[in-house]
Amino acid sequence: MRPQVLFSLFAPATKLPGVGPRIAQALARVAGERVVDLLWHLPNGVVDRRYAPSLADAAADRVATLTVTVEAHNPPPPGRGRIPYRITCTDGTGTLTLVFFHAQGDYLEKALPVGEQRVVSGRVEQYQGALQMTHPDHIVPVAEAESIMRVEPVYPLTAGLTPRTLGKAIQGALALAPDLDEWMDGPLKARHSWPDWRAALLAAHAPDGQGALLPTSPERMRLAYDELLASQLALLLVRARQRQMPGRITKGDGALRAKVLAALPFTLTASQSKAIVEIEADMAGESRMLRLLQGDVGSGKTLVALMAMLVAVEAGRQAAMMAPTEILARQHYATIKPLAEAAGLEVLLLTGRDKGKARAAALERLAAGQTALAVGTHALFQDDVAFKDLGLAVIDEQHRFGVHQRLTLAGKGRGTDILVTTATPIPRTLMLASYGDMDSSRLTEKPAGRLPIDTRVMPVERIDQVIEAVRRSMANGGKVYWVCPLVEDSEVSDLAAATERHRALTALLGDRVGLVHGRMKAKEKDAAMAAFAGDGSDLLVATTVIEVGVDVPAATVMVIEHAERFGLSQLHQLRGRIGRGSEKSTCLLLYAGPLGQTARARLEVMRETEDGFRIAEEDLRLRGGGELLGTRQSGLPEFRLADLAVHADLLAIARDDARLVLERDAELESDRGKALRTLLYLFERDAVIRYLRSG
């Protein structure tokens, strides 16, 4: 149960004064639906309203707070609504005109009565030699001048939300923030001179200048640390729980692996061999394996995973590999099947498409243990799929699956080991943030015989030359990917761009041009990919929503249109689709100028290196952790207050702190432990509290 002290924070935003259903909808778009979401919505700018000169001294193009007497109203003539409503004011040293467009006269007459003094605040401008202020931000009686002569926070907004409405809602949320028992380590807090939680929150929402907006200001550091500590504590609790779950010792005699190695036309890379040794050692241990295998596209992860699966089979158990899409599942199956056959094993492919008698017969063989290896999509963890003895579950592209799906597959066996793989190189900081101290193996080399990819950056104005180069490549029997730009956060617009490009290229290059996008049905998508992989088409126009995961060694050219719109990791993932054969490959990055500093840096890194781990670190540096892998898709935690690009050192401290806490107080029952439980609830890591005996 969430502690009572936090009830008010997890109430819907409609409980705040002045927040009705319409305002709540706008708040949900920009911050979230609950009171606590507004606490985490920090300002990203300030307006200093403390400059209060006389009109004679007022500088143009600066925000000023001025005390004036209203002299005259000059409304526009009837029917001339486009002419502004002007109000003349003075303070004895000069004159100021207040300008309002589409104004309501009766409201202005009430707010600014002739002959009375008012305080107005806004940007002062020079217009035709005279001072004016258009739509003042504040108009208040002189008695309330103090309330606006301050540094005012500026918040990220959305349509349908004014600064005043949002500011009022946030003030309402802050009024509900309780004083909470301190969960932070005393010496650490003193060393950094960090305020208490509530004081830090109030200060973060009342910045006294630009410096207070920096992620390194004491109040923001404190809040970021709280969020990172909650995250690390939750991760360590989950890991402790997983370690308590009984595992089984799985050792093989190496016979099946020897047959597969003998059937390979190449030798394993050093990092593949090292990863296999690490996985074998984990599986031979008494606790359950949970290991992450990271490696670039084409670094040979599937082969390492197969070797791990064979350890389970040699030990008399079964192994399953789960991929996020049917295309990827079929690709893994195509890679594994001939190698498994060389070892005398059959492999079962199970996708959502399999129906009827054939599926029933396959499931029967799996349940009876006659089939030792299975590859499939999430169809593998449907209720009617049973294994006789599942020893290892391999989960490919981990970030596409939730923890629940991982555990469901592992739950189909007793003490099942889990190997998680990803082709998205994860920077060390994000590794810590997302996986805690999960054991990990990295594949850092390309398989033998792969040539470097020649990456070139070109302005979009040279597209005609690019099309000619594509024509030449197709004439020589090469295959080409053409990736269309991300238009906006909308598949519809992406689709329109791809369809249009497909039409134009078909008109220029003939009918051997295919199209694949995220809105196609799985069957259509597979057919388009199969035609490209076979001899049906030579040029494939694609949006990025598809997993262009099919291995097409003949594809040697990739064109990425509007490459400046893509993130570094995404560009790297896409480029990894070519250069998979023995031919020289070229990647052309087309950009539309003028390029911003970040976009330029991204394209430069792409030109310089193919090292996915370096690219991931650069991406983190250029974009910050929040966006890194498109957090929404990646299953990595989304931080509201911490910025991993800035707060990496805090993450390491939080991790050590959390480890120490759990060594001394595993059930969080001390005074600090109880405060830390509140912290877990505050940052919604409460799912892990049920792992605590007394929780």
The residue type at 270:
A
347 and 420 in a single domain? The answer is yes
**Buried-exposed string 605-624: b where 16+ CB fall within 10 A, e elsewhere:** bbeeebebbebbbbbbebbb
CA distance 274 to 658: 30
Model confidence at 633, pLDDT cuts 50, 70, 90, reads very low
- What region, left, alpha or beta, does residue 364 occupy, with left being phi > 0 and alpha being psi -120 to 50 degrees? alpha
Model confidence at 436, pLDDT cuts 50, 70, 90, reads low
**Secondary structure percentages of the chain, helix, strand, coil, to 5:** 45, 20, 35
Give the end of a domain, one of 594, 609, 624: 609
CA distance 571 to 450: 19
Give the end of a domain, one of 589, 609, 629: 609
474 and 590 in a single domain? The answer is yes
117-127 and 138-140 strand pairing: antiparallel
396 and 482 in a single domain? The answer is no
| pLDDT at res. 344 | 95
The residue type at 59:
A
125-146 pLDDT tens trace: 999 889 999 999 999 999 999 8
217-248 pLDDT tens trace: 999 999 999 999 998 998 888 777 777 777 88
Q: Which residue has better confidence, 544 or 453? A: 453
Does 16 reside within a domain? yes
CA distance 277 to 145: 72
> Do 72 and 114 contact (CB within 8 A), yes or no?
yes
58 and 29 in a single domain? The answer is no
Q: What is the mean pLDDT of residues 578-583?
A: 82
User: 94 pLDDT exceeds 70?
Assistant: yes
**DSSP β-bridge partners for residue 287:** 246
Does 261 reside within a domain? yes
DSSP 408-472: HHHTTSSS-EEEEEESS---HHHHHHHHTT-EEEEE-SPPTTPPPEEEEEEEGGGHHHHHHHHHH
> Do 412 and 429 contact (CB within 8 A), yes or no?
no
Q: Quick one: how far is CA 76 from the chain centroid?
A: 51
365 and 407 in a single domain? The answer is yes
Does 448 reside within a domain? no
Does 675 reside within a domain? no
Please tell me whether residue 125 adopts helix, strand or coil conformation.
Answer: strand
Output the average pLDDT for the chain: 87
Query: Helix H segments across 590-691?
Result: 597-608, 612-623, 631-634, 648-664, 671-682
CA distance 213 to 470: 49
Model confidence at 271, pLDDT cuts 50, 70, 90, reads very high
Question: Which two tokens mark 181?
Answer: 């028992």
Does 183 reside within a domain? no
Question: Which of 83, 123, 112 lies closest to 100 in space, CA to CA?
Answer: 83
Q: What is the mean pLDDT of residues 289-300?
A: 83
374 and 486 in a single domain? The answer is no
| pLDDT at res. 307 | 97
Residue with tokens 């974009």: 623
581 and 488 in a single domain? The answer is yes
Q: Specify the number of domains making up the chain.
A: 4
Does 653 reside within a domain? no
19 and 61 in a single domain? The answer is no
End-to-end CA distance of the chain: 9
User: 465 pLDDT exceeds 80?
Assistant: yes
CA distance 662 to 669: 10
Residue with tokens 């990055």: 589
294 and 311 in a single domain? The answer is yes
Does 190 reside within a domain? no
| pLDDT at res. 65 | 97
| pLDDT at res. 625 | 43
What's the pTM?
A: 0.68
367 and 475 in a single domain? The answer is no
User: 636 pLDDT exceeds 50?
Assistant: no
Does 231 reside within a domain? no
Q: Which of 250-254, 560-564, 572-576 has the highest mean pLDDT?
A: 250-254
* CATH at 305: 3.40.50.300
User: 492 pLDDT exceeds 70?
Assistant: no
410 and 269 in a single domain? The answer is yes
Question: Which two tokens mark 436?
Answer: 């805690």
* CATH at 120: 2.40.50.140
Domain that holds residue 79: 50-149
Question: Which of 40, 47, 41 lies closest to 208 in space, CA to CA?
Answer: 47
- For residue 445, how many C-alpha atoms fall within 13 Å in the half-sphere facing its CB? 12
CA distance 309 to 289: 13
37 and 55 in a single domain? The answer is no
Evaluate the CA torsion angle 638, 641, 646, 647 in order and state its sign: negative
C-beta neighbour count of 19 within 10 angstroms: 21
Give the end of a domain, one of 593, 609, 625: 609
